[in-house]
Each structure stands twice: as structure tokens, then as C-alpha cells.
Amino acid sequence: MRSLDDLLAEGVAGRTVLVRADLNVPLDGARITDDGRIRASLPTLRALTDAGARVVVTAHLGRPKGAPDPAYSLGPVAARLGELVGTPVQAATDVVGDSAREVVAGLADGQIAVLENVRFDPRETSKDTAERAALAAELATLAGPDGAFVSDGFGVVHRAQASVVEVAEQLPSYAGTLVVDELTTLRRLTEAPERPYAVVLGGSKVSDKLAVIEALLPKVDTLLVGGGMCFTFLAALGHPVGESLLEQDMIDVCARLLKSSGDTIRLPSDVVVADKFAADANTRTVAAQDIPDGWMGLDVGPETVQDFAAALTGAATVFWNGPMGVFELAPFADGTRGVAEAIAASAAFSVVGGGDSAAAVRLLGLPEDGFSHISTGGGASLEFLEGKTLPGVAVLET
């Protein structure tokens, strides 16, 4: 795979380099609540500007419906990027239109421009390859005849989209630092991981994570299950789960997994239940098999945190995906905090995957350096661990 280093060795001074970054940050109105992904894009951008490239960033934000929508403008993100790099960053008001052409034409060597949210153009996510290729051609044209493409949005490499795959077919293309680092790290989880290997899974749904559970079960020594998904497993054991998140149609699958891998899978022994989904709910801690009628489990309990922490202490490799509870609401954040602290405290090679898990680490003020790696790509890291081909990576290998 050609990488940024190869491009820098060729020389980029005065050339226009199109970079697909992952700037999909959580927003509260126009306020960025976690700029982790912007920060993660800096090493590639800085290496290019330091070498005198004219850098054009294309990225998406949220899920606009294939048309401009001010709520998903990358404007605030471009402003934040400018603060972080310490020089103004030009923001285009369209994806590949007049504004984009004008902003790119105005770039001096070592400067950065950000194109508007690429998902404002319906061709980005079109199922029709020709439509995606047409948008990619317009992006490639912005880079000009001696342009190049750097794929650095690890969070989107599992997507067959115009700014990820087709554009890489149309310009000389290279993997950015973030993509290379992510792949190098994740390989340590699949190629001869050091044992014992423990995986902590949580988040909302079993159905989202079933493929990764099936792929990991034969490889891991322990699979600790918390979050919303644990209730479908508890239901599969015949326990009442009250109003907790439950996927009826997954109960059989969970029962089968427990039957075949019951020794590997570990479930919560206690849970924090609430009488409503709110920060001011009444709460109780109950045994996992005794969730009362009308109550919902919104976090794992303190005994579970201790039990999971004990299982994690001796691990040599840990992968964590998915919060243990509704950490966004303070009364239900302790399980996620406790388990995350145990991972951070362990000497294991530890990787956090998943957008919400990574956000939890930062929002709960956990020590980021306690983890060996915090992946910027939730879906992409899971698909990698499932052993799937990532189209945005495969195209860089051709």
C-alpha cells in the first residue's frame, strides 16, 4: 500500500493534494462537543502543509439527505481545524461547485481548504457506480493534473463512497498516517494477539455487533458483555428484563452463542435499573436475574464492574467496543467509567473502538494515554475485526 511517506518522497510542494478526512464530530447545535476526530486528522494535514502542499480536505458530517442542510455544514469544523493548525482554513460553501473551485484556486503553498459536506451531493452515497465516479471526477479535477489523493478518513474506509473509493481510482492515491496507524494497530488484534485476550462489548444492540461477536468468539479467552445488548443475553437465559432494551428476534441467537461459548461469555451479575429513561429517574441496583417489572436496566452494577475489572487485570490484549451503560446520563455512567478505568490501569495492549466508546473516554475525563489506541472508526474497526474487506483500503492496494 502506498503511504503518505511515499507521496512526500515524490515531493508535494506546490501540488494540490486532496485529503479525505474523517471530521464527523458530535455537535450540539453549531458547538463541537468532542473534537477528537479533527485532532486525529492533524498529523497527515501538517505533514502535507509542512512540505508545501496545497491541501484540499473533503469530509462528511452527520447524515444529510443528499442535499445542502445548514445543520450539517462543515463550516464550524473548518473553523476549529484552523484553530488547531494555527492558520486560517478556507471553507468552501459547496462540495465541487463555484465556491470550491474559487477556494482551491486561492490556496497558497502550505494552506488548507475544506470543501463543504460531501454528503450534500447525492452522488457521494449513490448505489450507482457511474454517479459516484462522476462526483469523484469533479473532486479529482479540483486537485488538477499533478494532484494526488490521500485517504485518511479511517472512519469511512468501510464505505464504498465516491470520496473514499472512486476518487482513489482517479488520482494517484496514498494511505494517510491515520489509516496506516489504525490498520497496524488493529492487525495486532487479529494476527496472533497476545494472550489472554479479553474483549469488552457493550453499546445498544446485539444485532449491530453480532458479526463481530461471532468473528471474535473463537479468538478470545473472555468476552465481557454489558450495555444495552446484555439484556437480550439475560433474556436468553430466561431472566426477566423488565423494560430494558431487548431484541426479541435475537434471543435465539444469543441462546445459541451462550450454548456454544458459555465459558467465554461473561454477563453482568448486577445492573442499575431506572423507572424511566432520564437523568432524574429513580434508580436501584438489582441482581441481573431479578430486574423488576416496569424497570429498565441502564447500566451495569458495581459488582459487575469489579468482576469485569478482575477479568481484565490479567489480560495481555484488550479490545473494548460499546459503553457499559447510558453514560450520557450521569447516574448511568459509573459502569462505563469503572470498566474503562480497569482497562486503562491494566498493562495490556488495549484498543478502544467505536464512536460512542471513544467519546465516553473523553467525556468522562478518563486518561486517554491509559489506552494503547483509541480508534477513530467504529464501524470500520468492527468490520476489520470481522475480517471483511474494507473497500477504501482495498482500492489503495491496487
Which does residue 357 bind out of Mg ion, ligand ADP, none, counting CB within 5 to 8 angstroms by kind? ligand ADP
Quote the least distance from Cβ 261 to ligand ADP, whole Å.
Answer: 20
Torsion sign across C-alpha atoms 371, 376, 382, 388: negative
Beta strands 197-201 and 173-175, pairing class: unpaired
Binding-site member from 176, 242, 301, 354 for ligand ADP (CB under 6 A): 354
| Contact mark string toward ligand ADP, 178..217, x via CB under 6 A | ------------------------xxx---x---------
Task: Choose, from 52, 75, 370, 379, the residue flagged as catalytic.
Answer: 379
Residues in 286-305 that interact with ligand ADP by CB under 6 A: 297-298
**H-run or E-run covering 320:** strand 317-321
Binding-site member from 357, 371, 375, 392 for ligand ADP (CB under 6 A): 357
Is residue 379 annotated as a catalytic residue, yes or no? yes
Quote the least distance from Cβ 13 to ligand ADP, whole Å.
Answer: 39
Question: How many CB atoms sit inside 10 A of residue 295's CB?
Answer: 23
- By CB under 6 A, is residue 36 in contact with ligand ADP? no
Amino acid symbol at 374: I
Quote the least distance from Cβ 378 to Mg ion, whole Å.
Answer: 5
Residues in 363-392 that interact with ligand ADP by CB under 6 A: 378
Q: For residues 341 and 90, give the distance between their C-alpha atoms in angstroms, rounded to a whole number.
A: 40
Length of the chain: 398
- By CB under 6 A, is residue 321 in contact with ligand ADP? yes
* Residues 6+ positions from 137 with CB-CB distance below 8 Å: 170
Task: Choose, from 15, 20, 37, 266, the residue flagged as catalytic.
Answer: 37
Quote the least distance from Cβ 97 to ligand ADP, whole Å.
Answer: 33
The pair phi, psi for residue 67, each rounded to 5°, is -150, 155
- By CB under 6 A, is residue 283 in contact with ligand ADP? no
Which does residue 377 bind out of Mg ion, ligand ADP, none, counting CB within 5 to 8 angstroms by kind? none
Cell of 17: 493534494
Residues in 235-264 that interact with ligand ADP by CB under 6 A: 245
Question: Would you call 137 helix, strand, or coil by DSSP?
Answer: helix
Is residue 378 annotated as a catalytic residue, yes or no? no
Binding-site member from 64, 155, 176, 323 for ligand ADP (CB under 6 A): 323
* Residues 6+ positions from 126 with CB-CB distance below 8 Å: 132, 135, 162
Q: 379 with 182: CB under 8 angstroms?
A: no
Helix ranges (DSSP H) in the chain: 4-10, 36-40, 42-50, 75-85, 98-105, 129-143, 167-170, 177-190, 206-216, 230-236, 251-261, 302-313, 334-345, 355-363, 378-385, 391-394
The pair phi, psi for residue 216, each rounded to 5°, is -85, -35
Quote the least distance from Cβ 32 to ligand ADP, whole Å.
Answer: 17
Quote the least distance from Cβ 382 to ligand ADP, whole Å.
Answer: 7
Binding site for Mg ion (CB under 5 A): 355-356
Binding site for ligand ADP (CB under 6 A): 202-204, 208, 227-228, 245, 297-298, 321-323, 325-326, 328, 354-357, 378
